[in-house]
Amino acid sequence: QKEVEQNSGPLSVPEGAIASLNCTYSDRGSQSFFWYRQYSGKSPELIMFIYSNGDKEDGRFTAQLNKASQYVSLLIRDSQPSDSATYLCAGSGGSYIPTFGRGTSLIVHP
Amino acid sequence: EAGVAQSPRYKIIEKRQSVAFWCNPISGHATLYWYQQILGQGPKLLIQFQNNGVVDDSQLPKDRFSAERLKGVDSTLKIQPAKLEDSAVYLCASSFGATPGEQYFGPGTRLTVT
């Protein structure tokens, strides 16, 4: 069974710090990975996607993918209280069927 | 651009009753997804449509859940009969192509089964 694992947290960081969110996956056939942010009571919204090994940067966000280790991470630089949310990691393989992790709760305190 | 529409937003039913949810995807989006999200968990894919064909429904409890996407546009998800463990948020999402990462989610329907 394809699984995406995330630590449920909460991960607590001070404002201005770097938040590091991690995700591992079991399906070696997974090719595409996505990070979604979900505020309490709201729907998930896409932050970033990554397909290739290495880093991908978009503003304060950096996604990292290591297919050999089956590991995906999301770094949030200069964390703000508005970044407090649950971050969902998702992966999909050649069939494009997405599998989500349970999410990591991030708390950014002033 | 209008987003994904879902209705109702909230529904409370008793166990063994039936319920239906409706979703209208973003115009032009060929792929439509229904997810179940139980509190504290990530979304679980129930069924994925490409136009009006089913791509995957391996996690849909077919003895009680059914879904259709007639004419390849809007979709309905039905539960009959409902169980207590069906209490969850039901999310509909759509994407232009087959790549799931570019999917946009609707506001969801919060179902409570008593």
In A, minimum Cα distance to B36 occurs at: A100
pLDDT tens-digit map of A5-56: 998 889 999 999 999 999 999 888 888 899 999 999 999 999 999 988 999 9
CB B43 within 8 A of CB B60: no
Minimal-distance CA residue of chain B relative to A8:
B40
Question: Could you tell me if B64 and B23 are in contact, meaning their C-beta atoms sit under 8 angstroms apart?
Answer: no
Which pLDDT score is estimated for A30?
Answer: 84
User: What length does chain A have?
Assistant: 110
pLDDT over 70 at B101, yes or no? no
The mean pLDDT of B69-93, rounded to a whole number, is: 95
Contact: B100, A34; criterion CB under 8 Å: yes
Interface of B with A (CB under 8 A): 33, 35, 40-45, 48, 55-56, 91, 98-108
Measuring CA to CA, which residue among A83, A47, A37, A91 is closest to residue A66?
Answer: A91
Q: A9 at the B interface (CB within 8 A)?
A: no
Question: Average pLDDT, whole number, for chain B?
Answer: 94
- Residues in B closer than 8 angstroms to A85, CB to CB, are none
d(CA B48, CA B92): 10
Whether residue A90 lies within 8 A of chain B, CB to CB, comes out as yes
Mean pLDDT score, B76-91:
98
Residue B84: strand, helix, or coil: helix
pLDDT of residue A57: 96
The structure tokens listed for A5 are 């694992």
pLDDT higher than 80, residue B99: no
Residue B98 has a pLDDT of 73
- Chain-chain contact of A44 with B100 (C-beta, under 8 angstroms): no
Which phi and psi angles does B83 have, rounded to 5°? -115, 165
In which element (H, E) is residue B51 found?
Answer: none
B33 interaction partners in chain A (CB closer than 8 Å): 98
Prior bond of B61 cis (ω within 30°): no
Most A CBs within 10 A among B105, B109, B110, hence the mutation to make, goes to B105
Ordered DSSP codes for chain A: ---EE-----EEEETTSPEEEEEEES-TT--EEEEEEE-TTS--EEEEEE-SSEEEEETTEEEEEETTTTEEEEEESS--GGG-EEEEEEEE-TT--EEE---EEEEEE-
- Is B23 within 8 Å of B32 (Cβ atoms)? yes
What is the pLDDT at residue A28?
A: 84
Whether residue A7 lies within 8 A of chain B, CB to CB, comes out as: no
